[in-house]
Amino acid sequence: MSKVLAFDLGASSGRAVVVEYHEQKLDLQEIYRFPNQPVMLGNHLYWDICRLFHEIKCGLNQCAVNGHRDITSVAIDTWGVDFGLLDRDGDLLCNPYHYRDKRTNGIEEYIEEKIGLERLYYSSGIQNIWFNTSYQLAAMVKDKPDLLKLTHQLLMISDLLGYFLTGVCRNEFTAASTTQLFKTDAGSYHHELLAALGVPAHIFPPVIYPGQVLGSLKEEIAEESGLSPIPVVATASHDTSAAVVAVPAKQKDFIFISCGTWSLVGTELDSPIVNRETFVNGFSNEGTAENRINFLKNIMGLWIVQECKNYWNSQGKEVGFAELEALAVQSPPFASFIDVEDSLFISPGNMPDRIRDFCRSTGQPVPEDMGSIIRCATESLAMKYRQTIEQIEDVIGKKALPVHIIGGGCKDKTLCRFTAGALNRRVVAGPTEATAMGNAIIQLIAGGHIGSVADGRNIIKNSADIAVYEPERPLEWDAAYKRYREIIERKKD
């Protein structure tokens, strides 16, 4: 038996999960959970990185006091694109900005003028989108150049937390690949792009790959937590890449939908695909745990549903996700659709009214009650999945690939059922704990307990609860999809 500790941090919460590997199965035990609440200070939105590191240390301590001093390693995965800056003394210069901070508003025009958005995409293979590291750094060059002059090292969030644990500065490959400043196929930062944007290349530390050891817990942290100075492993520290490790696929080619606040829809490839079609349709080529490519698209996932719930709760209407899901099922199907990628839905706020505004502006019936609003959002997300998967399969020249939904979105059985209907194909849902499992698989590979990601996927088939959804009412979904496409195109025009 082998035992590792996986820290999995998302945009709203984090947790410490002890993963035991025994007799070709993984057993997960969540020993600590904590909120991840961004802080609005002045005009900017920040991650509370000091609090997050405190919670990491609390998780290490809970590991010790709950009888898990025998863990053999620890690893951290987080979201991508965001970063922290260190000065020459290794001290944090400021709290990391949140990717939803408004300082990148309008920066696309600045980048277009400086280097051109097409050049940026063709050089990196990463979708042009408002939260990219490249956009954030361009905003810093434009508005806070003195901060960059003081910067000695730039570390992605997962790597910043790893640095706090070990004192070692490295950027892990999968996290670095999300920056839009990294040549994934070459494994190095794009110095020409950095120079064109005015970003100093020397602030990027060397790259470390999944399965390599970053360092050991500092002695003072090990002593404080009650653990020994165990290795800190570089897992696939971008949470999407970690989650894809845990896809229980039976064959090499498959479609994954990593579903949570965001939805990442894609497939694994041996090399990047970067052309006019992928540029126009907003596809990215991100790194995988085995130095391959996750060819994918970022889609607004369950964020819209989450924000509807948050708004209603703020108005004194206490509803849970299960209740909203039940109300949606009871509502009439295919009444109205939204484009979940529309900029109208990016920011927090009164999401129900924004859904109504979209429907009103496109000449559709306006959903009024909770059930019809959630049904509209959920059906629209399933339609966006179909549209994106059709684009992926056209680009790679392979059709009808198996579809796997992984992550927290698997708990939304209605979304899974709608996705099977929209796609008119079987959908395999699970594991919900994909990211923590993928994080652990890489640690177990690093420790010599598992041979490869493929072996890890077979182990996950034996370990996780997997649900299968068959398509229902395909003709009705096809007719609704045609109407959905017409509405989306009309809105764009």
Asked if residues 9 and 77 have their Cβ atoms less than 8 Å apart, the reply is yes
Q: Which sign, positive or negative, has the C-alpha torsion 34, 1, 235, 405?
A: negative
pLDDT score for 1: 82
467: which 2 tokens?
A: 């649900």
Cα–Cα distance for residue pair 252/257, rounded to 1 Å: 16
Cα–Cα distance for residue pair 11/41, rounded to 1 Å: 18
Q: Cα separations (Å) of 143 from 38, 104, 110? A: 22, 10, 12
Cα–Cα distance for residue pair 90/134, rounded to 1 Å: 23
Cα–Cα distance for residue pair 162/149, rounded to 1 Å: 24
Q: Cα separations (Å) of 135 from 178, 179, 186, 306, 356? A: 12, 9, 22, 26, 31
Task: List the beta bridge partners of residue 21.
Answer: 2, 26
Instruction: Say if domain 2-238 classifies as CATH 3.30.420.40.
Output: yes
Asked if residues 447 and 72 have their Cβ atoms less than 8 Å apart, the reply is yes
Cβ partners under 8 Å of residue 18, min gap 6: 3, 4, 5, 6, 28, 29, 31, 63, 66, 68, 71
Cα–Cα distance for residue pair 490/484, rounded to 1 Å: 10
pLDDT score for 186: 86
Q: What is the pLDDT of residues 17-26, one digit of tens each?
A: 999 999 999 9
| Nearest alpha carbon to residue 178 among 161, 192, 164, 159 | 159
Task: List the beta bridge partners of residue 468.
Answer: 428
Domain(s) of CATH 3.30.420.40: residues in the chain: 2-238, 247-432+451-493
- DSSP-assigned letters across all residues of 95-145: PPBPTT-GGGTTHHHHHHHHT-HHHHHHHH-----TT-HHHHHHHHHHH-H
- Percent of the chain whose pLDDT exceeds 70: 100
- Which stretch of DSSP H or E encloses residue 300? strand 293-300
pLDDT score for 370: 98
Terminal alpha carbon distance of the chain: 59
pLDDT score for 347: 84
447: which 2 tokens?
A: 């420790």
Cα–Cα distance for residue pair 299/341, rounded to 1 Å: 6
CA angle 382, 384, 388 (to 5 degrees): 120
Q: Domain 247-432+451-493, what fold?
A: Nucleotidyltransferase; domain 5 (3.30.420)
Q: Cα separations (Å) of 238 from 288, 404, 486, 489? A: 9, 19, 35, 33
Q: Cα separations (Å) of 89 from 7, 143, 149, 150? A: 27, 24, 14, 11
Catalytic residues: 239
Q: What share of the chain is helix, strand, coil (3-state, %, to 5)?
A: 45, 20, 35
Cα–Cα distance for residue pair 196/74, rounded to 1 Å: 38
CA angle 55, 170, 70 (to 5 degrees): 50
Cα–Cα distance for residue pair 14/31, rounded to 1 Å: 11
Low-confidence residues of the chain, pLDDT below 70? none
For the chain, what is the largest distance between any 2 Cα atoms, rounded to a whole number of angstroms? 64
Antiparallel, parallel or unpaired: β 467-469 and 427-429: antiparallel
SS3 221: helix
For the question of whether the overall pTM of this predicted structure is more than 0.85, the answer is yes
Cα–Cα distance for residue pair 165/379, rounded to 1 Å: 43
Residue-wise burial string across 335-374, b where 16 or more C-beta atoms lie within 10 A, e elsewhere:
bbbbbbbeebbeeeebbbebbbebbeebebeebeebbbbb
| Helix intervals (H) in 153-289 | 157-166, 173-176, 191-197, 219-225, 239-245, 276-280
